[in-house]
Amino acid sequence: MREESSDNLESADVAKREIQRIYNKDPRKWHILSGRDSHGYNDLVVMHGSDLWIIKEQLINPYKSVGFAVKTVGKTHDVENIESCQYGVRPVTRTQIDQIVETINSGRIAHEVLSEIMNRSPVSIHDIMRCPAAIQGPVVHVNRPGDLVSTKQRDLDLKLKVELEKLLMRKYRQTVVPYI
Q: Residue 177: beta bridge partners?
A: none
pLDDT digits (tens, 9 = 90+) for 94-150: 999 999 999 999 988 888 889 999 999 999 999 998 889 999 999 888 887 766 666
Domain of 110, in residue numbers: 92-136
- What's the whole-model pTM score? 0.83
- Indicate whether 107 and 33 sit together in one domain: no
Number of folded domains that form the chain: 2
- pLDDT, tens only, 44-91: 999 998 899 999 999 998 999 999 999 988 765 554 555 568 999 999
Is 20 inside any structural domain? yes
Residues 6+ apart with CB under 8 A from 153: 5, 52, 54, 72, 146
Quick one: CA dihedral 90, 30, 13, 178, positive or negative? positive
Please compute Rg for the chain using Cα positions.
19
User: What's the DSSP call for residue 82?
Assistant: S
Beta carbons of 71 and 6 less than 8 angstroms apart: yes
